[in-house]
Amino acid sequence: MLRLAFPARAVQNIYTSTLARSSTSFTVKRSKYTLPDLPYDYNALEPIISADIMKVHHEKHHQAYVNGLNVAEEKFEQALKDKDVISQIALQPALKFNGGGHINHSLFWANLAPKKEGGGEPPNGELLSAIKKEFDSLENFISKFNTLTAAVQGSGWGWLGYNKTTKRVEIVTLPNQDPLTTHVPLLGIDVWEHAYYLQYKNARPDYLKAVWEVVNWKTVAARFENAK
């Protein structure tokens, strides 16, 4: 069985760590980001998500974001060293896209769990109370989440996030690989076609309806507890 290779907090601080490392001495060798291991086997989420999808999604797509982030960060550090402001600005889209892709997918893998390990078991306690406060019931939340996320144009993500200002849980949708920065991310669902097309074809709503059977609410609850 594969295991998650790094702490979630480190994943969420990619942008911060990029700038922090860039502002220190350039004689220190930069540590590169690496593809995290999954906390389960590729076939562990079947029949909800096939092994083929998981393998390609993890080994090919997530790896591409990791590679792109390392390249963009290396170029950014060189631009800082050279005081090349134009290049620093020009590299921002690549840092956002690849850094966001790495952050989002690292959170996504931990959002899921095989049924035999609790995947799909509904939340309880304070998390469930917070969801009911905003959406009346878990079922209403899932229905609204699915409706909003299915409507994302092109590629993107649906998120349940914690708003630290209002102290409420809220649904947010974002395009492409934009990371959730306005809220603490609790639960993210990938609706890029590579997340479901091999199995669900163009039926994004069917994928969204099914994925809740392998959502790891224990991870979501832990993130909620840490966010408060």
Give me the phi and psi of 158, to 5 degrees please. Answer: -110, 135
Count of residues for the chain? 228
Q: Is 190 annotated as belonging to a binding site?
A: yes
Q: Is 105 annotated as belonging to a binding site?
A: yes
Q: Is 57 annotated as belonging to a binding site?
A: yes
The set of residues, in sequence order, having a beta carbon less than 8 Å from that of 181 and lying 6+ positions away, is none
Strands (E), the chain: 156-163, 168-175, 184-190
Q: In what order do the strands lie in the sheet containing 156-163?
A: 168-175, 156-163, 184-190
Considering only CA atoms, which of 153, 155, 131 is closest in space to residue 143? 131
DSSP three-state, residue 121: coil
Exposure of 198 in the CB half-sphere (CA atoms within 13 A) = 13
How far is residue 35's CA from residue 93's CA, in Å, rounded to a whole number?
Answer: 21
Task: Report how far apart the first and last C-alpha atoms of the chain are (Å, whole number).
Answer: 32
| Residues of each annotated binding site | 57, 105, 190, 194
| Residues of each annotated binding site for Mn(2+) | 57, 105, 190, 194
